Copies of this chain bind each other. A is one copy, B any other.
Amino acid sequence: MTEVDVPESHPRYESLLTRHRIEAGVEKGITSKQGLIAQGRGEAYDYLLGERTIPSADEAARVAAAHFRLADQAVVSVNGNVAALCPGEVVELADATGADIEVNLFNRTAERMERIADHLREHGAEAVLGLSADGRIPGLDHERATVDADGIGSADVVLVPLEDGDRAEALAAMGKTELVIDLNPLSRSAQSASVPIVDNVIRAIPNITEHARDLRDAPETALRDVIDGFDPETALGTAEDAIRSGDLD
């Protein structure tokens, strides 16, 4: 038994755990009202996908892991929903890959930034970026553009789970290798990604970690092969097909 009072074997365990975590995130001042609505949109797409990691999403997670391995500087961007849903999983990914963690909010307030940073530290994060706010993403208005200069600002690989479309496009336009987790394959975030992972963040992040561990001793040529064999358009098309033919209930 864990933080929700149902056994892990319960068929709705993952869904109940997700609900519990996102509601707790609201209580803690981490998740916004807009974040709850976004969570519901994600639930609908996940139902359509059959609440499973489809093979193309698993492949994309492996490609993301290869990018983390080859990165000069990788950052995992964390917003209110990601912090609520998988704080421990984000810390584990950062530990496994040597990536930095940066808090990055669409509706940025100093209070929420601090609460999310605290929440991540409670889950084992040592350093949390995002509070310096001394860098900017070109092409966005001031509030939306703010990042840390030595975090997302200078990173060559950025994982942005559940990112807003405008910001995902602006990050891609900076030439960064952008890894996106998004359940809607036709969202602008998924479309602008170097590596779109059409999966639930609660499944995708531990899956990237697992692939990163598996690829720990892989030579650079093998990592390049993993990356070169991946086509984002094909992955998005496969995910769209899975959603359209999936279970609506």
Contact = CB atoms under 8 A, between A and B. Distances in A.
A68 interface: no
Interface in A222-241: 240
Copies in the assembly, this chain: 2
Nearest to A246: B244
B36 A40 contact: yes
Contacts of A185: 248
Contacts of A247: 186
A202 interface: no
Contacts of A44: 40-45, 184
A70 interface: no
A185 B39 CA distance: 20
Contact of A43 (B40, B187, B245): B40
Interface string A194-221: 0000000000000000000000000000
A37 interface: yes
A144 interface: no
A84 B244 CA distance: 31
B41 A33 contact: no
Contacts of A26: 33
